[in-house]
Structure 1
Amino acid sequence: MSSDDQTLQNDAADASPEVPQDSPFRSERTVRDEAQQFVLPLVVRIERAAPPARTDALETAARAVLVILSDPRATGEGEWAQVMRDWQDARIRKVVRRARGAEWRRAEALDGITVTGKSAEVRVFPPVPLDGWPKDLARLQVSGTELDDPELPADPDLTAPVLWLSPDLDMTAGKSMAQAGHGAQLAWWELTDEQRAEWRDAGFPLSVRTADTDRWAELTTSGLPVVRDAGFTEIAPGNTVVAEGGSHFCPLPRARRP
């Protein structure tokens, strides 16, 4: 479930420009590994009597990442801006934990943003040092997020971006939430300020779906942003998510810009 060992990579097509030497998209060790390492905490509310639907939890986590990236406190001279820059200057790490009852209420009392989906609630917090979690977050469990969809998710809205999960992987909901957040962040980095503002003002519409096996190979070689897992938890190293742009919101290029 933890993505604290994740490395975001963009496995772009051959036509893509060379990835810069100091980039979170390189798999080999770079200067980013020498910087202090931070993690973006996300907490999903899972009450015993009313757990969220799996797909809604994934989509809500992805939107939560976008919400904090675009929050005024996280940009410019905002109170979270420096730690957000420090986090993104190192490796991009996210960890999803679960909470219910009093645990959730304690998490809500900490600085952060709660994002609500149809059935899911996810609270995202400013990045913290890997060894510096607030105690009310550190005590929360990473395991135990086996969520289900009560019914088959509808076809995605193709006017908005779709984060396609690999059909070859069996990940916990928490791990998948972190991966969806990675994919959303890659999409965000590709956009102009104007495109970001339009997507934000619409409430960050997006879908998370599992790709068909035949389509997955096409997606991972299309030049679209790809999340590559380092393989330290749950799964072997490899591609996990492809971010495909929508026809209206988040129109992604086919190759990453320099």
Structure 2
Amino acid sequence: MMILDLIASRNYAEESEVRAMPMVLRIERVDPPARTALLEAAAASAVAVCLDPRADVGGEWHEAVRAWVAGRIRKVSRRARGVQWDAVQSLPGVTITVDGASVRSLLPVLVSETPREVAKLQISGSDLPEDSPGPVPEGARLLYVNPRVEMSAGKLAAQVGHASMLLAPHLSVSELKAWAALDYRCAVRTPSVAEWDSLIHRGDVVAVRDAGFTEVEPGTTTVLAV
């Protein structure tokens, strides 16, 4: 549980170099995925990397995840299609697919050491049209998006990834096991402004506050995890 403890503490170590988790969004030119499904896949894949047995103490991923979580949990979303998507499957990480939408979250690395297969992928152009998701799947963890803030799908993929990670330390061992059995299923929804204002003052939510490097102002609350 050491990784969960680090996430929960949020005590940022000094970073000699920036580390980030690459998140690769599969967005094909023909038949692109639904926006909500892609975001839900992103949220699940991000936390799946952190809770993977290989990230436990003694595991082959532990040091990379520990060093990243001890700093700031930066993520960089990139889009891939065709052979680009195939190329990143051999890199260490976890792919989650939700309703046909796939995201592969990779093992965090120093930004200066981003794998060539990832570095050449585009960061921009990852937006998708809004959609109307159906009922919340049984067992899914709810992530609420700030209705006052406009964000691209790529930006929001990173934000919901933060939310699922920050939620994990608040769950019991039995809850985590049940969630893992569902491949860390998340439901991303956008509430009304009134609902958001009510949620943000509740004591049982975890808030993601963005550093403001891209798209939003520093300190903006972007996502709430229930």
User: Match of 1:211, as an amino acid?
Assistant: P
Alpha-carbon distance change, 241 to 99 in structure 1, aligned in 2, over 3 angstroms: same
2:68 equivalent among 77, 87, 92: 87
Q: Is it true that 1:201 corresponds to 2:181 in the alignment?
A: yes
Q: Is it true that 1:187 corresponds to 2:167 in the alignment?
A: yes
Q: Is it true that 1:148 corresponds to 2:129 in the alignment?
A: yes
- Give the total of aligned pairs: 218
2:144 equivalent among 164, 180, 194: 164
Q: Is it true that 1:75 corresponds to 2:56 in the alignment?
A: yes
Q: Is it true that 1:176 corresponds to 2:148 in the alignment?
A: no
Corresponding residue number in structure 1 for 2:19: 38
Residues 23, 32 of structure 1: 8 Å contact kept: no
Secondary structure of 1:218's aligned partner: helix
In structure 1, how many angstroms separate the alpha carbons of the residues matched to 2:164 and 2:93?
19
Q: TM-score, normalised by structure 2?
A: 0.90
Per-residue deviation at 1:159?
A: 4.8
Q: Give the number of the structure whose residues are more often helix, by fraction.
A: 2
Corresponding residue number in structure 1 for 2:107: 126
Corresponding residue number in structure 1 for 2:222: 240
User: Match of 2:63, as an amino acid?
Assistant: Q
In structure 1, how many angstroms separate the alpha carbons of the residues matched to 2:140 and 2:86?
33
Residues 226, 241 of structure 1: 8 Å contact kept: yes
Corresponding residue number in structure 2 for 1:19: none
Structure 1: 5+ residue runs without aligned partners? Answer: 1-21, 25-29, 245-258
Alpha-carbon distance change, 33 to 220 in structure 1, aligned in 2, over 3 angstroms: farther
User: Match of 1:32, as an amino acid?
Assistant: A
User: Match of 2:59, as an amino acid?
Assistant: G
User: Match of 1:216, as an amino acid?
Assistant: W
In structure 2, how many angstroms separate the alpha carbons of the residues matched to 1:193 and 1:40?
25
Secondary structure of 2:224's aligned partner: strand
Q: Point out the structure with max Rg over C-alpha.
A: 1
Q: Runs of 4 or more off by more than 6 Å in structure 1?
A: none
Structure 2: 5+ residue runs without aligned partners? Answer: 1-7
Alpha-carbon distance change, 62 to 31 in structure 1, aligned in 2, over 3 angstroms: closer
Residues 96, 175 of structure 1: 8 Å contact kept: yes
Secondary structure of 1:230's aligned partner: coil
Corresponding residue number in structure 2 for 1:218: 198
User: Match of 2:199, as an amino acid?
Assistant: L
User: Match of 1:215, as an amino acid?
Assistant: E
In structure 2, how many angstroms separate the alpha carbons of the residues matched to 1:178 and 1:208?
13
Q: Which has the higher contact order (CA 8 A, sep 6+)?
A: 1
Corresponding residue number in structure 1 for 2:5: none
Per-residue deviation at 1:199?
A: 1.2
Secondary structure of 1:240's aligned partner: strand
Per-residue deviation at 1:218?
A: 1.5
Residues 179, 227 of structure 1: 8 Å contact kept: yes
Per-residue deviation at 1:147?
A: 1.0
User: Match of 1:136, as an amino acid?
Assistant: E
Q: Report Cα offsets for 1:15-60 as digits up to 9, x if no partner.
A: xxxxxxx953xxxxx7523454311111011110121100000000
Residues 12, 72 of structure 2: 8 Å contact kept: no
Q: TM-score, normalised by structure 1?
A: 0.79
Per-residue deviation at 1:87?
A: 0.6
Calculate percent identity across the aligned residue pairs.
40
Secondary structure of 2:14's aligned partner: helix
Q: What is the root-mean-square deviation in Å for CA atoms of aligned residues?
A: 2.0
User: Match of 1:85, as an amino acid?
Assistant: R
Q: Is it true that 1:100 corresponds to 2:73 in the alignment?
A: no
Residues 139, 179 of structure 2: 8 Å contact kept: no
Per-residue deviation at 1:115?
A: 1.3
Q: Report Cα offsets for 1:38-97 as digits up to 9, x if no partner.
A: 111110111101211000000000010122122111112111111111111111111110
